[in-house]
Amino acid sequence: MANGIKEKIEDANKEAIDKVLASNPVLVDVKPAIEAVPGMKKNMIMHAGPPTDWQNMCGPMKGAVMGTLLFEGLAETKDDAVKIIENGEIEFSPNHEHHAVGPMAGTTSASMPVFVVKDETHGNTAFARLVEDKVQFGDYGDEAVNGLRFWRDKLSVAIGTAIQKAGGINLKNIIGKALYRGDELHNRPDAGSSMFANMIITNLIEAGMAQNELLPVAKHLISDDIFFLGLSMGACKATMDAAHGIEYSTLVTAMARNGVEFGIRVSGLGDEWFTGPAGMINGLYFPGFTAEDANPDMGDSAITETAGLGGFTLAAAPAIINLVGGTPDEALKYSKQMQEITMAKNNGYTIPALNFEGTATGIDIRKVVKTGILPIIDTAMACKDPGKRMIGAGLVKPPMEAFKKALHGFAKKYEI
Amino acid sequence: MANGIKEKIEDANKEAIDKVLASNPVLVDVKPAIEAVPGMKKNMIMHAGPPTDWQNMCGPMKGAVMGTLLFEGLAETKDDAVKIIENGEIEFSPNHEHHAVGPMAGTTSASMPVFVVKDETHGNTAFARLVEDKVQFGDYGDEAVNGLRFWRDKLSVAIGTAIQKAGGINLKNIIGKALYRGDELHNRPDAGSSMFANMIITNLIEAGMAQNELLPVAKHLISDDIFFLGLSMGACKATMDAAHGIEYSTLVTAMARNGVEFGIRVSGLGDEWFTGPAGMINGLYFPGFTAEDANPDMGDSAITETAGLGGFTLAAAPAIINLVGGTPDEALKYSKQMQEITMAKNNGYTIPALNFEGTATGIDIRKVVKTGILPIIDTAMACKDPGKRMIGAGLVKPPMEAFKKALHGFAKKYEI
């Protein structure tokens, strides 16, 4: 019987990882969440990580929720926002439970346009919120909220036009090239952003967009080095969703944090979350901030590591050390070490500095628990207080507890 | 007396390398060579490397000269071209003797627009020919020559407009960023090309260029990964010219090859060339070509290595190994080894994979001869026969003879 189970797991994992490797994520649209995302509601705020509620939310997520309600026009003031939340008028739901991902607080509202990424190989669709540097960190001030308005009214519209003109934009191609250009595709997507900007702008020229519309979009895209992270996250979510829901598979299909808890989902374990406390980040602080100011780990952006990018491809991006700390040797070692807890090397995403080895891809909960090696995540840091922006960046490991709980859940479900 | 000389050399080299490190190359214009380049003539073809003439030219340079005469309208056919050359109607002159550089054959004619790069720190100006993939390798066919016409009539005009709109484009900034994005800035300038395209296209939008003019320019720039090499070469030439002509300095200010001879110039030795035979390249061939087809080393592009980029920054660009051969470890070792024959590390151009060490910069002829370590150059390969294009790429070392001759020349001039 034990042998039977083991074979079933191996077969399931082969099916799952083959889907990950064959995935071909293409950006096909940008649409308001209410029009695109299954289960989205007008009074819903989707958020990063496993489920939470207002009482249990960390400071920066509370700030981001307030900023998002102001953006959405559901509240006029910060105090209004708190009042309608406390009246129970706002429903909270994790992005991941809607095939979606969002950076840091990840707060996504009905009218907020999201990237629509289709895995052309398997036909499933994922959604990703814009990456910006204000509301997602908890800032709810006018400038922060105006950034979301620019996204909704101008930038997303233009990108949608460019996508239609291009007939879709293949994200796998850009990610593969970006790994040769010093990106790890989580906190360093700079080369990807530059390539994406060129494609969008050129398609908008071809689409005949008027100069006064095109210029602010072009200026934004060529100077926003972090922009491509939203696309990288969307691509990774589409890829991992394709491999979700395979009975007996021990593949991790999501790692996400809400700033209080870290949670994972596993292909063979349905939509259940397995959680532990979100870790503190070991890294570098911007001037004026210290560890005292930092919120625990937050965001759905660890979907990049889940798909074999981000911390797993640090070896491709030694320049990120300026942002997150460490040494180039450590970067190489992390990327090699992740091979011990993963199912395959992805030959679609290779790392030149490791002799063009494929990225370590597909975390197996069994290998994590057996080896004691935790996935490495590189991440931005939010301030623990609402109303602030990014205060630093660094490396973090998830709690082993989440993986052990998942393994117990697996044993229970499959009666091992 | 010997001590006196040694101090003079050290002082001169300090002055020279300080100029290299302080150099701030900015792209300020694109102009026809006849309007910009000192000493340019209507019947002149400037070429790569040390001086040569028609009788002694290698096959690909002959092909490039013919293509350039067709482009210039000085000949109607290939046979016409040969006839007017043999009649002595065409004057040949090395780019370097006009503060200019050109890739591979480097053939530059009067009406051909060149990049104008000013070292804003020292006020000197350098000129660089466009990098393309046809005429410079010896192809003189219609498609090849039409590529130069597109450059002259459309692309250079647009880039000139963008430069004016931007008020100059700082190349040092782009190069510094590109080193963090997997470029070594000689045979891999891809990230630089992407960033340059971002800037040019956005400035052209701002300048109000009409869609039908802008679209072909944008499409070209976003797909021509090698484009930035012309800018990188121009920047390096401006930088090294700033340090040329300092009495007693043993700094190499130019390394260049005409496909037959490799030559260097030295800061304290005026405009004299010190030469040896151009080497054969050790690398990878495109399908259908072998070592039998290869021409010896050619081009002014080794100005990048002269300024501490290219082969000297292989450690920044492990992905180039796909093109030139070798391993990531060898790339790291080459970049470290070049520290043994250079005067300084350039903190303006740093290499993340080497713990952000500055690039090894400023070749000292004394150190090359003393250590026996030759500069490492990565380079494209031309076919030995005229009429062909690029056949591969690889690594090459210059002949020690050139450095020994320079050291003898130095001893003679300064009576050591």
Mutation target among B205, B214, B284, B356 for the A interface, most CBs of A within 10 A: B205
- The single-letter DSSP state of residue B220 is H
Contacts of A271 (CB under 8 A, 6+ apart): A97, A265
Q: What would the pLDDT profile of A211-241 be if each residue is shown by its tens digit?
A: 999 999 999 999 999 999 999 999 999 999 9
**CB contacts, 8 Å: A175 with chain B:** none
CA distance B60 to B76: 19
- Judge contact between B193 and B225, C-beta under 8 A: yes
Provide the greatest CA pair distance for chain B. Answer: 69
Q: With pLDDT > 70 as the criterion, what percentage of chain B qualifies?
A: 99
- How crowded is the C-beta side of A276, counted as CA atoms within 13 Å? 14
CA distance A190 to A229: 9
Contacts of B390 (CB under 8 A, 6+ apart): B133, B137, B286, B380, B381, B382
Residue B363 pLDDT more than 70? yes
Contacts of B28 (CB under 8 A, 6+ apart): B116, B117, B118, B125, B163, B168
Q: What would the pLDDT profile of B179-237 be if each residue is shown by its tens digit?
A: 999 999 999 999 999 999 999 999 999 999 999 999 999 999 999 999 999 999 999 99
Residue B234 tokens read as: 């121009």
Instruction: Enumerate chain A positions whose Cβ falls within 8 A of a Cβ in B.
Output: 180-183, 190-191, 194-195, 197-199, 201-202, 205-206, 208, 211, 214-215, 218-219, 221-222, 318-319, 321-322, 327-328, 352-356
> Mean of the per-residue pLDDT values for chain B?
97
What are the E-state strand segments in B130-205? 169-170
CA distance A261 to A264: 10
The ipTM estimated for the assembled molecules is 0.96
pLDDT bracket for residue A24 (50, 70, 90): very high
Kindly report the length of chain B.
416
What domains are there in chain B, each with its CATH number?
A: 24-232 (3.90.1710.10), 245-413 (3.90.1700.10)
Give the residue-averaged pLDDT of B127-155: 98
CA distance A333 to chain B (A): 13
Look at the alpha carbons of B244, B246, B248, B251 in this order and tell me if their dihedral is positive or negative.
Answer: negative
Looking at residue B2, what is its pLDDT? 52
- Judge contact between A291 and A384, C-beta under 8 A: no
Categorise residue B32: left if φ over 0, alpha if ψ from -120 to 50, beta otherwise: beta
Burial of A407 (0-12, 13-18, 19+ CB in 10 A): buried
CA distance B227 to chain A (A): 14
> Sheet holding A252-258: strands in order across?
A274-277, A261-266, A252-258, A298-299
Give the other-Cβ count within 10 Å of B167's Cβ: 9
- Judge contact between B71 and B109, C-beta under 8 A: yes
Residue A2 pLDDT more than 60? no
C-beta atoms of B208 and A206 within 8 A: no
Looking at residue A232, what is its pLDDT? 98
CA distance B243 to B16: 5
Q: Which residues pair with B275 in a beta bridge?
A: B263
Q: What would the pLDDT profile of A245-285 be if each residue is shown by its tens digit?
A: 999 999 999 999 999 999 999 999 999 999 999 999 999 99
Looking at residue A1, what is its pLDDT? 47
Closest CA to A308 of A255, A247, A244: A255
Give the residue-averaged pLDDT of B321-343: 95
Closest CA to A312 of A281, A277, A349, A275: A349
Give the residue-averaged pLDDT of A74-91: 97
Residue A3 pLDDT more than 80? no
Q: What would the pLDDT profile of B286-305 be if each residue is shown by its tens digit?
A: 999 999 999 999 999 999 99
C-beta atoms of A205 and B191 within 8 A: no
Looking at residue A252, what is its pLDDT? 99
Provide the greatest CA pair distance for chain A. Answer: 69
- CA A107 to chain CA centroid, Å, is 12
Residue B361 pLDDT more than 60? yes
SS3 A384: coil
Chains A, B: CB pairs < 8 Å: 97
pLDDT bracket for residue B16 (50, 70, 90): very high
Q: What is the DSSP string of A337-373?
A: HGGGGEEEEEEEEEEGGGTTEEEEEEEBHHHHHHH-P
CA distance A287 to A277: 27
**CB contacts, 8 Å: B197 with chain A:** 198
C-alpha torsion B110→B115→B119→B124, nearest 10: 0
CA distance B131 to B196: 14
Residue B86 pLDDT more than 80? yes
Residue A243 tokens read as: 């491999």
Looking at residue B1, what is its pLDDT? 46
Give the residue-averaged pLDDT of A186-203: 98
Residue B353 tokens read as: 């994979």
Beta strands B91-94 and B44-47, pairing class: parallel
Residue A93 pLDDT more than 60? yes
Instruction: Enumerate chain B positions whose Cβ falls within 8 A of a Cβ in A.
Output: 180-183, 190-191, 194-195, 197-199, 201-202, 205-206, 208, 211, 214-215, 218-219, 221-222, 318-319, 321-322, 327-328, 352-356
Looking at residue B53, what is its pLDDT? 97
Look at the alpha carbons of B199, B202, B207, B209 in this order and tell me if their dihedral is positive or negative.
Answer: positive
CA distance B206 to chain A (A): 6
Q: What would the pLDDT profile of B113-132 be if each residue is shown by its tens digit?
A: 999 999 999 999 999 999 99
Look at the alpha carbons of B67, B68, B70, B71 in this order and tell me if their dihedral is positive or negative.
Answer: positive
CA distance A227 to B82: 54
Say which of B180, B197, B211 has its CB closest to residue A198: B197
What amino acid is encoded at B277 in this protein? P
